[in-house]
Amino acid sequence: MSIRNIAIIAHVDHGKTTLVDQMLKQSGTFRENEYVEERAMDSNDIERERGITILAKNTAIHYNGYKINILDTPGHADFGGEVERIMKMVDGVLLVVDAYEGCMPQTRFVLRKALEQNLQPIVVINKIDKPFARPDEVLDEVIDLFIELGANEDQLEFPVVYASGINGTSSLEPTKQEDNMTPLLNQIIESIPEPPKNEDEPLQLQVALLDYNEYVGRIGIGRIYRGRIKVGQSVTLMKRDGSSESHRITKLYSFLGLKRYEVEEAAAGDIVAISGIEEVNVGETVCDREHPEALPVMEIDEPTLKMTFQVNNSPFAGLEGKWVTARKIQERLDVQLKTDVSLRVEPTDSPDAWIVSGRGELHLSILIENMRREGYELLVSRPEVILKEIDGVLCEPVERVQIDVPEEYTGSIMESIGERKGEMLDMSHTSTGQVRLIFLVPSRGLIGYRTEFLSMTRGYGIIHHNFDSYKPVFSGHAGERRQGALVSMERGKATQYSLVALEDRGVMFIEPGTEVYEGMIVGVNNKENDLNVNVTKAKAQTNVRSATKDNTVTMKKPKILSLEEALEFLNDDEFCEVTPESIRLRKKILDKAEREKLARKKKYERV
């Protein structure tokens, strides 16, 4: 059976996963009576809730005598490392672009990676059914982007398919749609080159993705570049450090639809999963024993952000979680390392704390969210950027930021980005009546910016950013929180009486009846300093009738923080306490007198 290997790449939410759904359904991969959920490839609960793809996933369909291996890639910048590795496994890409939004920051990132690998592109202008779709303008944007990124003449001769993933239609013309995906599937067969037929040569398979199964251990997923692989075969693993090890393939899996099924043998050009090599890592080559030749090692994105994970030592520790000890947290982080190659976990001087580094806030927050759903309790610190020394100069990560906002908000956006050490690269008016601003901003300046941005633009602004480069460290502060915190000075239940009395001081994070402890952050102060407050105070009971007894008390609605908002709020002297039931903010030092003593000491040292 002839094979085609393709990756689907796009900016976040441009419809990659929905498009894969339709290709799976219309190729006859599923039985007629088989129930298939929408966005079937997004199997993780968080992926379904947020509508984003977090992990690259592979599937395959049979169509007209061809096997098409399809790799669905993440669209968010924090998971860009997954995209880069996928490019090594395929011969062509479907570049999906929204017919209304056009080229976005991540479109540029993923296309540049595809062109660097000299892959054959097919451009899919998706969501053609949108009321304000502008396919001709978007196609011009795509051509301009190809030219800007240095595409060669062959790559510029890309075929274009117009599609509506949600409706399952496609065509080669923008004005009319055929009621199936046949034009797209035929275009894949015609345009994507067939892998070289070299199955008689010695085996070479390179691992690009990792999976983990508690029954068979670590599973390596990769493409067979040459030769054949069989169950029971003795192979040599060429490690990243240049060393080699001997292993035996215990299980071999192929893909079809949403299932992974066992096979006895696979040949060059196919994408398979193997088990039996417990310590296999991304980029390593599985070779024939007699011809141990390694393929060029894949580069893995270095982390740009780090946080401290710590055993929960709050007064409420152990009340809500199932796994609370250092040993359990260490085991969970070790399991994560088996599949997440962009993650780093380093020990600290304390046996109860680890430095966890990742590709961005979203990358780390999704790990934390998964852990709390599994029953873990932990404390996490404010995210910090990872500095790097390049040619003797200390450098920090800088991000390329694209912002689309109504014109009336441009002044406040430019001022706020300027305070975060941002540098404007471009400003233009889009055909949708908005202003598009392009900036280079230090990564540390973007920590906690999204919430401020949404408030500033009343929710009408759109912001996207992805890693650009390392640049010499900018002097001064970049975007730390200006307002102080309202900190509880007592342990007990918050009362409505106290919360109403404190409303003028700032915005509360808790409701009446919430259990609090000393040092817990219960709100944000209107002023820059931290303020210790008593939220547990009850109204004094007397036998004297009050003149205002029957007055109705109206209370402002508190701001209940999500995990991302809580992490963005943190300052250097604060922790986020994460449990399966609650997300609390607290000071690192809970005791009020101890905090004041430390503050005086720091003030004295500065003098």
Q: Residues at the annotated binding site for GTP?
A: 13-18, 126-129
Q: What is the DSSP letter of 178?
A: B
Cβ pair 60, 96 in contact under 8 A:
no
Question: 219-241: string of b/e by CB count within 10 Å (b at 16+)?
Answer: bbbbbbbbbbbebebebbbbbee
Known binding-site residue numbers: 13-18, 126-129
Going by C-beta distance under 8 Å and a sequence separation of 6 or more, which residues neighbour residue 74? Answer: 12, 52, 53, 54, 55, 56, 80, 82, 83
CA angle in degrees (0–180, nearest 5) for 586-591-593: 130
Give the whole-angstrom CA distance, residue 116 versus residue 505: 55
Cβ pair 224, 195 in contact under 8 A:
no
Q: What is the DSSP letter of 21?
A: H
Give the whole-angstrom CA distance, residue 582 versus residue 561: 10
Give the whole-angstrom CA distance, residue 66 versus residue 5: 11
Query: Residue 463's beta-bridge partner residues?
Result: 403
Among 121, 218, 137, residue whose Cα is nearest residue 174: 137
DSSP string, 413-474: HHHHHHHTT-EEEEEEE-TTS-EEEEEEEEHHHHTTHHHHHHHHTTT--EEEEEEEEEEEPP
Length of the chain: 607
Give the whole-angstrom CA distance, residue 356 versus residue 599: 28
Give the whole-angstrom CA distance, residue 152 versus residue 166: 33
Give the whole-angstrom CA distance, residue 159 versus residue 145: 15
Residue bearing tokens 């390329």: 400
Cβ pair 100, 41 in contact under 8 A:
no
| Number of CB atoms found within 10 A of residue 491's CB | 15
Give the whole-angstrom CA distance, residue 461 versus residue 455: 9
